[in-house]
Amino acid sequence: MKIINLGNRHDASFYAACELFNQITRNPKSKLGLATGGTMVDVYANFVNLLKMNDVDVSNVETFNLDEYVGLSQTHPESYHHYMQKVLFEQYPYFTANNIHVPIGDAADLDDEAKRYEAMVRERGPVDIQILGIGENGHIGFNEPGTSKESETRVVDLTESTIRANSRYFDTEEEVPKQAVSMGLSTIMSAKRIILLAFGEKKKDAITKLASGIEDADVPATILYEHPNVEIYVDEAAAPDDMGRED
């Protein structure tokens, strides 16, 4: 695992966008694992710019999102479907609709939906690059502390800390969904390459734990030690005090 301090959010977002861009220009049939949240907004803005400036053919690119809130329709302004449309698919409207995958949070049978999604990722994958944010509590996707390494896509309960953190996007904390359909840790680990981004002081504690080298089920992101191809891009505020230099 490599932690790279890119100084500021702007440069880190551009760097991540270039990695996505390079991936799909090298292989126009690339499979991208996508994430949502505040961290990713600038990554998509830069990615869209690169796609536009270079007229990239994305018709054969396939995308797989990590998660979706339970109970929100695809058009709900805070659903992750809606987020993806706003930040990427409406900005660069050349993706093929059937190649865009986001779990359906208001499916009639959510357990069936989770199974369908997991089987689809396994069958159409593996994902070439999975981008990830990290929760203040160390979650990746909505895999909260204590999640099993073997977990697959399923319905999960959000922790109080996640509900509080995500309430900034809703009018009131009561409106934040209490559950999500989320890829599991084992689903995420099936990607060939993983890029995790973290910005701001609030993420420093989680990144410091991630930099410690100690795998801990209470900090789900530490499972990434077991993956051979992981990079963490941080800004100065989220960078651990000890970046690992031995002197």
- Interface residues with ligand PGA (CB under 6 A) are 37-39, 133-135
Least distance to ligand PGA from the beta carbon of 106, Å? 21
Give yes or no: 81 in active site. no
Distances (CA, A) of 173 to 10, 160, 184, 202: 29, 10, 25, 19
Contact 103, 119 (CB under 8 A): no
Q: How far is the CB of 214 from ligand PGA (least distance, A)?
A: 21
Task: Tell me which of 42, 62, 65, 67 is the catalytic residue.
Answer: 67
Alpha-carbon distances, residue 168 vs 49, 56, 163, 194 (angstroms): 27, 34, 9, 27
Smallest distance from ligand PGA to CB 215, Å: 19
Q: Which of 113, 118, 128, 144 is catalytic?
A: 144
In the residue annotation, 229 being an active-site residue is answered as no
Alpha-carbon distance of 136 to 227, in angstroms, equals 21
User: Among the options 46, 65, 137, 166, which is catalytic?
Assistant: 137
Closest residue to ligand PGA: CB criterion? 37
Nearer to ligand PGA, 47 or 58 (CB): 47
Q: Catalytic annotation on 137?
A: yes
Q: Which is nearer to ligand PGA, 37 or 240 (CB)?
A: 37
Q: How far is the CB of 136 from ligand PGA (least distance, A)?
A: 8
Tell me whether residue 58 or residue 234 sits nearer to ligand PGA (CB atom): 234
CB of 176 to ligand PGA, least distance (A): 12
Cα torsion 66, 64, 129, 222 to 10°: value is 20
Nearer to ligand PGA (CB atom), residue 58 or residue 130: 130
> 38 vs 93, which CB is nearer to ligand PGA?
38
123 catalytic per annotation: no
Catalytic residues: 67, 137, 139, 144
